[in-house]
Amino acid sequence: MAPGRMLDGAIRNLSLKAFSIGLERACRLVVVVAVAPVLGEAAFGRFVFASTVTALLALGTDLGLGVWTTRALARCRVDSESQVLLGRGIVQVGLAIRSLAALPYAVAVLAVAMFAARGEARAAITVLGVAALVNAFVDHFGAIFRGYERFGDEARVNAFRALLFGVAGLATLTVARSLIGLCTSIAAANLGGGIYGAVILRRLYPFATEARIERPKLDRVLAKVALTQALPLWFAGLCSMLYFKIDTLFLRSMAGDAELGLYGAAFKIFEGAMILPSVLLSVTFPQLARAHGHPPIQRRLERQIGLLLLGFGLLAGATCFVGGTPLIRGVFGTGFGRAVPSLRVLALGMPLLFLNYGLTHFLVARDMGTMTQRFALAMLGLNLVLDLALIPRAHGPGAAWATVLTELALTGCCLGALRLTFASQSVLPSIPTAPRIGQKAV
């Protein structure tokens, strides 16, 4: 492909991804901003708790298959019948395993709702549990779309889901101004997005519409390969999510729902800034995966992406640090003014967070999932110690410092691992371009 066409395609993909994610984050932020003063600090804290718990449990259905699917499909270019078959097998295996994982997830949600929550929080966990499961499948559809670099399909699904979320959330607040009403609207919006995503996946993909190719059966060998390669990625993602979110659980138990609500407001802005690295890595990860085994191309891509991420992180961090007060008060109202110190501490970690988003993806693209697993487990242990030491003394800002220090440690680990691999890159084997169903080179 000519460089001009590649550049045009990259700009188009970035634009589509930025638009869809931007719309999704904007709709979610609008709903959160509208609902926070209506629910109040305590009820908003219960919402943060319920959404965090269900998101952590839903990660258990991923099993690393989202990233594995994108990476495997990116290395499997659809230009021959054998590759079409392989692509269909990859998609079928991923969806089948995730469907089986939904059963223990449902049991876990019900157990948490029954034994770890009461009253309104119990109902919120149950309803948001349904929403999180559907959302997990929509995210997997997105992983398939990215693997084939069909960012237009992913953008349509994300935009549709975002609009449903915004309309349903705001409409519910006019009818039932309650936590349960909000949770119900979220579940309905995610269900609508899931149905739309399934329709696009079924109608628009070559492996779903190619009538001349016989429909393959579930490949058990490929399923075993998928789990072997994906589980380390899943464990790393689970540990990362835990150390990123577990301060929510500690803060609630040590300081109460009101303090959690304040910290949750600061963290929503912190999370919202992640749209920048998310867009960039979603578009470039397929290229990173295909560059594995080609050191000059791989290093150049990593260097360019790393510098972009660091620049975006510095800009976002400076904005939140300097403008913390008007951001919090303008978005959540004066009642959430005590969230400003937490936001300013989190702002210090934004450059590290942005850079780490890229560094961990670089390791995954290099097939170093086991390394990311070890780092994530170490960061979880470090974050637990920091939370226990800092939250009782400083509440929200203490949790924020624990996050920043953990990100600093992760940056050092990832840079060290990447540096150690530079010397051996030249002898890495090339990635086969057309493996067959059941072959382990995916």
Q: What is the pLDDT of residues 229-245, one digit of tens each?
A: 888 878 877 777 777 77
Q: What is the dihedral of CA 24, 26, 28, 31, to 10 degrees?
A: -140
pLDDT value of position 435: 35
What is the residue whose two structure tokens read 């590649």?
A: 6
3-state SS, residue 211: coil
Whether the CB-CB separation of 252 and 45 falls below 8 Å is answered with yes
Q: Is residue 436 part of a domain?
A: no
Both 243 and 178 in one domain: the answer is: no
pLDDT at 432: 36
What phi and psi, each to the nearest 5 degrees, are found at residue 274? Answer: -70, 0
The pLDDT of residue 92 is above 70? yes
Cβ contact 399:261 at 8 Å: no
Check whether residue 246 and residue 285 sit in a common domain.
yes
Residue 368 and residue 413 in one domain: yes
Percent of the chain's residues with pLDDT above 70? 85
Taking residues 25-50, what's their average pLDDT? 77
Q: What is residue 137's predicted lDDT score, i.e. its pLDDT?
A: 92
Nearest CA among 148, 405, 151 for reference residue 278: 151
Q: What percent of the chain has pLDDT over 90?
A: 9
What pLDDT does 429 receive?
A: 39
- 144 & 188 share domain: yes
Place of tokens 């510098």: 307
Region 416-432: mean pLDDT is: 57
pLDDT in tens, 366-406: 877 778 888 888 888 898 899 888 888 888 888 889 889 99
Say if 294 falls within a structural domain.
yes
400 domain residue, yes or no: yes
In 3D space, the residue among 72, 66, 67 whose CA is nearest the CA of residue 90 turns out to be: 72
- Asked if residue 321 and residue 214 are part of one domain, the reply reads no
Task: Give the pLDDT mean for 249-271.
Answer: 78
Based on the fold, state whether residues 198 and 280 are members of the same structural domain. Answer: no
Under a CB-based contact definition with an 8 Å cutoff, are residues 273 and 350 in contact?
Answer: yes
Per-residue pLDDT band for 409 (boundaries 50, 70, 90) equals very high
- Domain assignment present for 85: yes
DSSP state of 1: -
The pLDDT value recorded for residue 185 is 84
Q: Give the model's pLDDT for residue 354.
A: 92
Asked if residues 188 and 62 have their Cβ atoms less than 8 Å apart, the reply is: no
Residue 226 lies in a domain: no
Domain boundary among 160, 184, 218: 218
The CA dihedral of 63, 159, 161, 119, to the nearest 10 degrees, is: 90
- 93 neighbors 222 (Cβ within 8 angstroms): yes
Answer whether residue 402 is part of any domain: yes
Range of the domain at 370: 235-423
Measuring CA to CA, how many Å separate 330 from each of 26, 193, 335?
15, 30, 11
CA 320 to chain centre: 22
Residues 180 and 298 in one domain: no
Alpha carbons 191 and 279: distance in angstroms, whole number: 24
Answer for the pair 58, 105: CB distance below 8 angstroms, yes or no: yes
What mean pLDDT do residues 62-67 have? Answer: 86
Query: Is 442 a domain residue?
Result: no
Residues 42 and 163 in one domain: yes
Q: Give 122-152 pLDDT, tens digit per residue.
A: 888 888 889 999 989 998 998 888 888 888 8
Q: Give per-residue pLDDT as tens, 189-222.
A: 889 989 999 988 887 655 444 444 444 466 788 8
CB under 8 Å, gap of 24 or more: what pairs does 296-300 form? 298/365, 298/366, 298/425, 299/422, 299/425
- The answer as to whether 40 is a domain residue is yes
35/150 same-domain check: yes
Give residue 405's pLDDT.
93
Higher-pLDDT residue of 18, 330: 330
Number of Cβ within a 10 Å radius of residue 216: 15
Instruction: Please tell me the least confidently modeled range out of 165-179, 227-241, 427-441.
Output: 427-441
Rounded (5°) CA angle 353-357-361 = 160
pLDDT digits (tens, 9 = 90+) for 278-311: 878 877 887 888 777 777 888 888 888 989 999 9
Q: Does 155 lie in the same domain as 32?
A: yes
205 and 312 inside one domain: no
For the chain, what is the domain count? 2
Alpha carbon distance 351, 359 (integer Å): 12
CA angle 247, 411, 255 (to 5 degrees): 10
Residues 172 and 277 in one domain: no
What pTM did the predictor assign? 0.66
